[in-house]
Amino acid sequence: MSGRPQKHSLTLKGHRTSVSLEAEFWTAFREIADTEGKPINVLASEIDAARETDMGLASAIRVFILRRFMDR
């Protein structure tokens, strides 16, 4: 594992935000977005809209990725 999270900027509903994820999660997130034929910002916006209010976006993305790979 790469260790420290890497911060990347995303645009959600026209607003810029940054999300810190480990390199392996960024790779998996891009792979899922490519498989679904969606830009990463669109997929992040969908995850953002569906997450619980007490869960941060980075955590929601990690859980989304985990669930996706568990369903394989």
CATH number for the domain including 36? 1.10.3990.20
Give the mean pLDDT of 46-65. 95
Helix (H, G, I), strand (E, B) or coil at 19: strand
Q: What is the pLDDT of residue 3?
A: 79
Q: Which residues pair with 9 in a beta bridge?
A: 18
Does the pLDDT at position 71 exceed 90? no
CB 11 within 8 A of CB 41: yes
Does the pLDDT at position 1 exceed 90? no
How far is 21 from 40, CA to CA, in rounded Å? 14
Q: What is the pLDDT of residue 66?
A: 96
Report the half-sphere exposure of 13 (CA within 13 A, side-chain side): 5
Residue 15 domain-assigned (yes or no): yes
Looking at the 3D structure of the chain, how many domains does it have?
1
Residue 44 domain-assigned (yes or no): yes
Q: 């999300």: which residue's tokens?
A: 19
Give the mean pLDDT of 1-29. 92
DSSP symbol at 12: E
What is the residue range of 20's domain? 6-70
Mean pLDDT, the chain, rounded, equals 93
Percent of the chain with pLDDT over 70: 97
